[in-house]
Structure formats: C-alpha cells, structure tokens
C-alpha cells in the first residue's frame, strides 16, 4: 500500500463515518462504507474509509504497463492518489497521480460516483503507464480488536488513556502526557506487529507551534494493522494479533529529542524547508502589497502565479546548515535535501490554498478586504517563520 517516505508522507485515512442510508437504501445498516482498492496485480486489496469529509490515501506501489514510455520532459510518476467523500448519489471518488520524488505535480485522472457494491476499473491509468486499479464500495462492520500494548521510547511521554474507537477500520484513541519541562514539537508514532512497522504517523504542531506544553496532554488516533482475507463475495479486513502502539521518539522545541534519531533528522530538515519557503513567500507578499494599492480578488492571480513559480530546490547551504545541527546522527545528504524540499513544498501548497480559499469567499471589487487579508496573512506567515 502506501510507502512512508521520511516519516512525513503520511497515508491519510479519515476514520469518521457518516451514514449513506438516504443515498443507498440497500446498504447494510450495521456496516460503514469503505473503498476496497485493488492496487497491485495478484495481491490482496487495501481498504480506505469513506466519510462526509474528503480524504484518502496514495499508493506508491502499483503495476507498470509493459513497454510504456514516459513522455519527454515529464517527471516520473511516483504514486496514485485516491480520495473519496460521501455524496448524495453514493460515494464520490477522485483518482489522480503524483509526479516527482516529492510529489511536485498532481494530475487528475478521473472521478466517479459509485453506489454500494459497485465496482469500477480505472482504465485511464494506463495513459500514465499504470496497470488499472479496481475500486469497489463495500460495507464493513465496525471493528474494535484486541487492545494493543503501549510502549514509549521517549521517557518524557507517558500514556494517560487508551480506548477503542468503534469505527470501520480498527483504531484506538490515545492520550499521552509530556512529563518534561520542555514543549514537544513532534512525535513519531508506530503501530508494530511482530516487530514490523504496519502504520506510522508524525503529529506535529500547526505552523511551528508545539503540540504538547510541559505537563500537558495530547490526544491522537492510531490505526491497528489489518490483513485482507478472501470471503465468499470479495475480501474482508481481519485484525492482526499482538500489536504494539509505540512512541518511537519525541522532538522538543529546542531541537533535542528522546527515542530514535530518525524523527529529529526528518523534523529538522523539513523545518528548514518551511523556513526557506516562508522567507520567499514573505518577499513576494511585500512586493505585491507595495505594487498593488488597488488590488482586486482577480489580481491575486498574479500573486498566486508568483508563488507557483517559487522553485522547490534546496541549495547546498541549506543542506549544510541542517547537517551541522545533526552532528553525530549520520544524516544522508541526499535525504536531507529531499526532506528540505518536502518542507518547502508543504508551505507553498498551504499558501496557494490560502489564496484560493480567499478568492472563493471574496469576489468583489472593494480593495480594502483584500489589503486586510494580505496584511493578516503576512503577519501570520511572519509569526510562523519566527517559531521555526
């Protein structure tokens, strides 16, 4: 299913579920809806939950069409992205592909509205050199599963509460406490089974904020690992035994850490990338404000084009700066460069989304609200930068 690159490209599964009873009366009342995704030939499918909010997962493993040739001057295809959302007529599904090592580009492939039990073959993926995926809307009874063991390799993080979530795919809610005198900026959480990582997430503070103040608690959900097993009419997920939810590491706001060294390497490099891109964005904002006293919502397209044009390439100085901070951790130079670029892309995507959302809400000629929004955005990005 989805590979996790540098602990930051996260497979996103939305656990909340809203009933489709009105849209599909024939669906089983005791089940929640999910997508059954056949993503690789001759292999068991994966399952994605479906909810009223758009969410999904991307797949870095897929079959390749024999003898297909990548177009010239095109980035390599690195993942297939499948998102879904409950819709009035059933489940709306969007399929796209990511190009480039850090998913530099996303290209739409197709979309569907599927009803309960309906299956579709995404043949359009062959245009991108990918063996077609099969997607089916299925009903799954909510599962709890045997309580996993909890382990923390970070001495400062203790478990307060762990309780099951009655959901389509099994997961547990955990509340942990920070016992240290330092704020925690990021955690790395793994679900292990037989010592093998099955699921992973890296919760971190929004826009440079810490996630756990000294003595405070933090709540998150961790999915259990399942395996697809054949049934009379398809496949069904079965919960694997003897699972462990592990806090592998905690990174503090001063850059120190407890636990494994992988997370502080990733977090430091991504934070540097965020810093680099925020500096570039703020430079653009200042120029745009000074040159557009009578800006309109439409003229923000110029700002958006400028943000799109910001390159996602980390220079040698940025890599060296991060490497110097990580003395003794054995960080790989190419890996650091990639992680910095992931951080840069995350900020660029966020800024583009901020502009787009404002344009969708505001379509009038009065420039004052636009100037107010630009000023507020500049202050917000400056505060974000100051926290990095």
Model confidence at 151: pLDDT above 70 = yes
Cβ neighbours, 10 Å, residue 54: 13
What would you report as the CA-atom Rg of the chain, rounded to the nearest whole angstrom? 22
Check: CB of residue 247 under 8 Å from CB of residue 152: yes
Return mean pLDDT, the chain: 88
Model confidence at 192: pLDDT above 90 = yes
| Cα 365 from Cα 388, distance rounded (Å) | 36
Residues 44-83: pLDDT tens digits?
999 999 999 999 999 999 999 999 999 999 999 999 999 9
| Cα 78 from Cα 293, distance rounded (Å) | 43
For the four alpha carbons of 263, 264, 265 and 269, in that order, the dihedral sign comes to positive
pTM here? 0.85
**Residues in contact with 102: Cβ distance below 8 Å, sequence separation at least 6, in sequence order:** 312, 338, 341, 342, 345
Model confidence at 309: pLDDT above 90 = yes
Q: Which two tokens stand for residue 317?
A: 């100085």
Which residue in this structure is represented by tokens 């991060």? 322
Cβ neighbours, 10 Å, residue 16: 15
Average pLDDT of span 115-130: 97
Q: Which two tokens stand for residue 118?
A: 């309906």
User: Which domains does the chain show, CATH number per domain?
Assistant: 32-140 (no CATH), 149-259 (2.60.40), 262-387 (no CATH)
Check: CB of residue 351 under 8 Å from CB of residue 366: no
Model confidence at 15: pLDDT above 70 = no
Residues 336-354: pLDDT tens digits?
999 999 999 999 999 999 9
β-bridge partners, 87: 90
Q: How far is CA 383 from CA 5, 208, 220, 343, in A?
A: 28, 9, 26, 17
């Amino acid at each position: 299913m989805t590979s996790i690159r540098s602990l930051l490209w996260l497979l996103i599964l939305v656990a909340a579920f809203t009933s489709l009873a009105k849209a599909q009366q024939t669906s089983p009342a005791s089940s929640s809806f999910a997508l059954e995704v056949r993503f690789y030939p001759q292999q068991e499918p994966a399952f994605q939950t479906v909810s009223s909010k758009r969410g999904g997962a991307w797949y870095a493993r897929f079959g390749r069409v024999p003898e297909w040739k990548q177009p010239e001057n095109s980035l390599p295809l690195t993942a297939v992205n499948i998102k879904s959302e409950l819709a009035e007529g059933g489940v709306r599904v969007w399929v796209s592909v990511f190009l480039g090592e850090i998913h530099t580009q996303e290209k739409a492939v197709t979309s569907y509205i599927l009803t309960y039990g309906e299956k579709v073959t995404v043949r359009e993926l062959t245009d991108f050199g990918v063996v077609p995926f099969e997607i089916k809307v299925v009903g799954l009874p909510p599962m709890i599963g045997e309580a996993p063991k909890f382990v923390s390799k970070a001495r400062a993080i203790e478990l307060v509460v762990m309780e099951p979530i009655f959901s389509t795919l099994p997961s547990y809610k955990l509340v942990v406490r920070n016992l240290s005198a330092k704020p925690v900026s990021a955690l790395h959480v793994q679900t292990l089974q037989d010592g093998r990582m099955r699921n992973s997430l890296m919760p971190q503070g929004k826009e440079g904020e810490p996630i756990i103040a000294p003595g405070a608690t933090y709540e998150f959900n961790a999915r259990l690992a399942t395996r697809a097993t054949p049934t009379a009419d398809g496949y069904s997920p079965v919960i694997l035994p003897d699972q462990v939810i592990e806090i592998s590491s905690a990174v503090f706001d001063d850059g120190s850490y407890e636990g494994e060294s992988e997370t502080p390497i990733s977090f430091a490099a991504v934070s540097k990338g965020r810093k680099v891109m925020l500096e570039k964005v703020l430079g653009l904002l200042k120029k745009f404000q000074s040159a557009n006293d009578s800006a309109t919502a439409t003229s923000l397209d110029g700002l958006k084009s400028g943000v799109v044009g910001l390159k996602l390439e980390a220079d040698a100085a940025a890599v060296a700066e991060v490497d110097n901070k990580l003395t003794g951790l054995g960080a790989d130079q190419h890996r650091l460069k990639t992680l910095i670029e992931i951080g840069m892309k995350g900020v660029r995507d966020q800024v583009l989304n901020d502009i787009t959302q404002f344009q969708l809400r505001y379509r009038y000629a009065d420039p004052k609200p636009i100037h107010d929004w630009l000023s507020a955005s500049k202050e917000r990005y400056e505060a974000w930068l100051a926290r990095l």
